[in-house]
Chains A and B, each alone.
Chain A
């Protein structure tokens, strides 16, 4: 198995996903098979090949540094699950 149940739980924590027991089981099996397939990239010796992070040879894109109007706050909050004044309201982190 390319990935253990403990690793799946660890990655789920990193990704902030609360998975059900059944999901953990299924993902352990499926991710194992997928990781085995994608590990194929390690067959190639590419020590002297540079990585590509982006398909275009763009270096910098410049724009005028001019202030523009932002969205009105009422529009910003129109899709918010909860709001208090001009803040997004969430449950306490403590």
Chain B
């Protein structure tokens, strides 16, 4: 049979396997054929795996996820040619569930960016409009799912790298509660923020993949016991209290088309039975970005110290050891990692530590407290995921601060370790708008239930018009 991957959800694919209408190898081959057809233009994949290993629905993995025997570069030249000798826990769990790996997807270098333009291997393009970015850092996985080049995939999220690309590509992405998914074998960026999570066409697919990868892992001491995942079925929202943080829905820089699409989804939520009320997160939004751009670079400067040309990765030629290390790091890192290493090293250096890093850690407490107060009154909070729809390739590349603003609305909840789900809620200027649902820690099942009901009612077509 011919398998059209463009509309196929992971559950559809599972149905084909269960009814024996297709084999896992045929499914895998169908996706590879789609990649052969469309990935020349989009560049979602850094490399593909030609043979299906496993009897399940194939999966794309962001290239920060270590895969035994498959090159893993994190989008950086410093790791070019690096082939892990072990599997990350999430890769092992995918394999354990029988999911064949389709390939490794493109990312901003070390997951640092909001457009996937910072990849050392060239940018990924948005399937809705190849002149535009897919978001980042997980643009490769998000664009692949939208373009039918993978039924689902895993990304990593530090300040919005799952939710924001899902918003810009018009699909569903979950940044789970910090600690629910193991980070063992993940190329580290900022350890108190990094989380692995699923990207798919539907909320149910996202919930299924989350159930496969989540859970305590003895190899990652920050992981916790995870409540059993409930696949969402209901189409009503009776009894659900939705909070609308004023600052996150009226912030300067939110495009009118984005705000309107989210407001319309809230009207729909009321019709489905939800109680919708306003709330406030004043300091989370005003200080969140500044807090993030101190803490994440500080942790990154420490994590990226390991790329020294000694044990793996690139080594630049030099007569002396320190010269070798300094040259390796200059040659191996691109502009964005260098900027963040410099910023983080400065913020942690003697004389500045308390004013920058210490103060940012206190702001983090303030952000967590504000969210906790909001959850006294509400089950979930709603806002746009990204202030804008997908922007043009090159538009923000020269201005780091403008790029950082892309994550204005995803960052606050990340600082508090809270889960967030992006669902597409409409189009603005012909491009997808993402709606962000934030819940308390370990409230993934609530996010799935609310996201599913809204998704069913919204009826958003995840296939870009130009591919229909």
Chain A residues whose C-beta falls within 8 Å of the C-beta of B361 in the assembled complex = 51-53
Q: A50–B359 Cα gap in the complex (Å)?
A: 10
Give the complex CA separation of A31 and B342 in angstroms.
8
Q: Roughly how many angstroms separate A84 CA and B356 CA in the complex, as a whole number?
A: 43
Minimum CB–CB distance for A63 against chain B, Å:
6
How big is the A interface, by class? 35 or more
- Asked if A41 and B417 sit within 8 Å, CB to CB, the answer is no
- For B85, B312, B313, B346, the residue with the greatest tally of chain A CB atoms inside 10 Å of its CB is B346
Most chain-B CB neighbours within 10 Å: which of A34, A41, A61, A78? Answer: A41
With a cutoff of 8 Å between Cβ atoms, the chain B residues found around residue A90 in the complex are 309-310, 321, 324
| Alpha-carbon distance A26/B216, docked complex (angstroms) | 44
Q: Tell me if B221 and A61 are in contact (CB < 8 A).
A: yes
Q: A41-B359, A50-B365 known; A56 and B179 CB under 8 Å? A: yes
Q: Determine how close the nearest CB of chain B comes to the CB of A80; give it in whole angstroms.
A: 6
Within 8 A of A (CB), among B278-323: 283, 286-287, 289-291, 293-294, 301, 305, 308-315, 318-323
Q: Is the CB of B290 within 8 A of A40?
A: yes
Residues facing A in B307-365 (CB within 8 A) are: 308-315, 318-327, 329-330, 333, 338-339, 341-343, 345-347, 349, 355-356, 358-365
B121: Cβ under 8 A from any A Cβ: no
B342 touches A52 (CB 8 A): no
Q: Interface size of B by Cβ–Cβ distance < 8 Å?
A: 71
Most buried by A among B327, B355, B358, B359: B359
Decide yes or no: A49 and B309 within 8 Å by CB, A20-B330, A91-B321 being known contacts.
no
Cβ contact within 8 Å between A34 and B400:
yes
Q: Is the CB of B358 within 8 A of A37?
A: no
Judging by beta carbons under 8 Å apart, are B338 and A27 in contact? yes
Pick the contact of A56 from B324, B347, B417 — CB < 8 Å?
B417
Q: Is A19's CB under 8 angstroms from B287's CB?
A: no
Q: Which residue of the partner chain B has the closest CB to A13? A: B326
Pick the contact of A75: B85, B308, B325, B347 (CB < 8 A): B85
B82→A14 contact, CB < 8 A: no
Give the complex CA separation of A56 and B440 in angstroms.
12
Q: How far is the CA of A42 from the CA of B338 in the complex (A)?
A: 25
Contacting residues, chain B, for A27 (C-beta < 8 A): 338-339, 342
Q: Are B356 and A41 in contact (CB under 8 A)?
A: yes
- Chain A's closest residue to B345 (CB) is A15
A17–B361 alpha-carbon span in the complex (Å): 26
A38 at the interface (CB under 8 A from B): yes
Residues of chain A in range 34-91 having any CB-CB distance to chain B below 8 Å? 34-35, 37-44, 46, 49-56, 58, 61, 63, 71, 75-76, 78-82, 88, 90-91
